[in-house]
Each structure stands twice: as C-alpha cells, then as structure tokens.
Amino acid sequence: MYSSPSSYSAYNYPTQSVSKPLQESDFKYTGGGLTDITGAKAIAKRIFEMYDRDRDGNISNMEVVPMMVDAYQGMNRRFQPNKQDIDSFYKICDRNKDGRVNYEDVEALCIKYLTTGYMKEEMGGYK
C-alpha cells in the first residue's frame, strides 16, 4: 500500500542503523568486481537487515524510501522520492517479479552489481 510522501517522516525510523554501516573491509577485491559471491551475499544480508525495519521478511514501499534516500546521500545528494520514484525503484528491486522485495531479491541485486563474471546457475536464473 502506498503512503503519501508527507507520511514518510512520521514512520519513525531509528536515527542509528540497525547494524553498522558498510565499511571498505566488507568488500573483498576480486580483480574486477567489488567482491565475490560470498561477499555479495553477506552484504545483501546486512542491507536487508538494515531496511526491513518491521522484520516481516519483506521491504515495503515505506521501507524502500530510506534505502533510496541513503543511496543518494552516499553520492552527496539530497533526494525526496515521489510516488513514481518509489514505484520505479521498487520494481527494480523486485527481481523475481512477485510484487514483494524480499531477501532473495536483495541478494540477487548484490550478486549482479557487486560481482563480475557471476554464473547464471549460481543466481538461480536471475539476470
């Protein structure tokens, strides 16, 4: 269910991360990608734990907003996503197209974008 942007600030996210921020040591250099598949899976777990604030096993459209804001903040940019931004980002994150963003979706994204030369078989068919 979509909530209006004005309600995001009322969602009462903790000011501190659930787990510590990602560090350079979290990435294992493999000569092409930022990490190997094992490292990408570990990063996916940390990301999922950080943004699945209500611990229901899915990242809702409300929980994806801080993920978007944090991504832009990491590039030293301010960003207030609107409904279209949220819907587009949510569709990108929903890798298996089941209408939810769960751990497997986050893991597939991390493997795809943090490793090089990943094997399709290891990804369970995700592209």
CATH of the domain at 87: 1.10.238.10
Per the domain annotation, does 68 fall within a domain? yes
Instruction: Specify the number of domains making up the chain.
Output: 1
pLDDT at 60 over 90: yes
Q: Each residue of 63-78: b (16+ CB within 10 Å) or e?
A: bbbbbbbeeeeeeeee
Residues β-bridged to residue 101? 59
Position 101 pLDDT exceeds 90: yes
Domain that holds residue 99: 29-114
pLDDT class of 96 with cuts at 50, 70, 90 = confident
Is 11 domain-assigned?
no
pLDDT at 36: 87
pTM above 0.85, yes or no: no
Tell me the H-state helices in the chain: 37-51, 61-73, 83-93, 103-114
Region 12-30: mean pLDDT is 47
Q: Is residue 120 part of a domain?
A: no
Helix (H, G, I), strand (E, B) or coil at 102: strand
Note the pLDDT tens digit of each residue in 23-50. 555 544 444 567 888 999 999 999 999 9
pLDDT digits 0-9 by tens, 82-91: 999 999 999 9
pLDDT, position 15? 38
Residue 101 lies in a domain: yes
The whole-angstrom separation of Cα 91 and Cα 42 is 23
